[in-house]
């Protein structure tokens, strides 16, 4: 435990690590306060592209946790950065929420529903057959297919909802083209996090609740991994995977003595 506490910084997943729905998890406030009091660098990563950093900051503030927007990094932001490095000034047809479009606009990637360079798909509640039909036609005409994250489902207060992987699947099936997914477990997300913190991989720990996205992303980024059991993974699930986290905790509160 001392080795984790000695780290210069932390990269944390959000849902299942920091909160469930609209409820802060036990020990999170103590953990965040400990990081602030000890001048630890930290960033929260989320595979969800639906909210901007400012909106995420406001969400946590409503739950009683005050964290400034510069501590958040989303798959929408990672997708925009990826496309900007691949093809500066490119255009995209987007199926997603406003936060995804804003992230693209911030990198001067503009909307195009006629002959875009990319079709970009993220989580959205306005998915329709019309948009699906349009995306398929554009990919068949040569647009490259990009998914913000590969998650097939996501938790909500009312149960699970289809996430980006599920929304991309019909386009892949209809066109025979495979999407490139930017979010975890793609190590691009963690590398962006390391750059934001200004830390080397050995100086940080990555905390997540999923073996198939968080822990594998940490392992492939050569950072120490911490699995918390406050999310979707139970202790008995760990042996189902051919890799293991370096540390296993009940929740982030365990790091600062919160039981």
| Active site (annotated) includes residue 214 | no
Residue 258 CA to residue 30 CA, distance in Å, equals 7
State the catalytic residue, choosing from 13, 214, 224, 254: 13
Residue 149 CA to residue 184 CA, distance in Å, equals 7
The separation between the first and the last C-alpha atoms of the chain, rounded to the nearest angstrom, is 14
Tell how far CA 177 is from the center of its chain. Answer: 23
Residue 47 CA to residue 149 CA, distance in Å, equals 6
| Active site (annotated) includes residue 61 | no
State the catalytic residue, choosing from 15, 117, 224, 254: 15
SS3 of the chain: the string is CHHHHCCCEEEECCECCCEECCEECCCHHHHHHHHHHCCCEEEEEECCCCCCHHHHHHHHHHCCCCCCHHHEEEHHHHHHHHHHHHCCCCEEEEECCHHHHHHHHHCCCEECCCCCCEEEECCCCCCCHHHHHHHHHHHHCCCEEEECCCCCEEEECCEEEECHHHHHHHHHHHHCCCCEECCCCCCHHHHHHHHHHCCCHHHEEEEECCHHHHHHHHHHCCCEEEEECCCCCCHHHHHHCCCCCCEEECCHHHHHCCC
Place of tokens 């050569």: 222
Active site residues: 13, 15
């Amino acid at each position: 435990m001392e080795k984790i506490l000695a780290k210069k910084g932390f990269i944390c997943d959000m849902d299942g690590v920091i909160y469930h729905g609209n409820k802060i998890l036990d020990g999170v406030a103590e953990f965040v306060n400990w990081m602030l009091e000890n001048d630890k660098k930290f960033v929260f990563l989320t595979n969800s592209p639906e909210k901007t950093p400012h909106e995420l900051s406001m969400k946590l503030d409503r739950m009683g946790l005050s964290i400034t927007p510069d501590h958040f990094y989303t798959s929408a932001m990672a997708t925009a950065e990826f496309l900007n490095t691949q093809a500066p000034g490119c255009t995209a047809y987007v199926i997603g929420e406003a936060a995804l479009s804003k992230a693209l606009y911030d990198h001067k990637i503009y909307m195009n529903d006629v002959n875009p360079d990319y079709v970009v798909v993220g989580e959205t509640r306005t998915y329709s057959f019309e948009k699906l039909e349009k995306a398929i036609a554009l990919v068949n005409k040569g647009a490259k297919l990009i998914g913000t994250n590969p998650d097939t489902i996501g938790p909500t207060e009312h149960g699970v909802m289809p996430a980006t992987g599920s929304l991309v699947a019909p386009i892949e099936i209809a066109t025979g083209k495979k999407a490139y997914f930017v979010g975890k477990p793609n190590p691009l997300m963690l590398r962006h996090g390391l750059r934001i913190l200004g830390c080397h991989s050995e100086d940080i720990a990555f905390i997540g609740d999923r073996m198939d996205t968080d822990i594998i992303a940490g392992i492939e980024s050569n950072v120490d991994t911490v699995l918390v059991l406050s999310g979707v993974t139970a202790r008995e699930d760990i042996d189902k995977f051919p890799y293991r986290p370096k540390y296993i905790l009940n929740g982030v509160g365990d790091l600062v003595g919160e039981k």
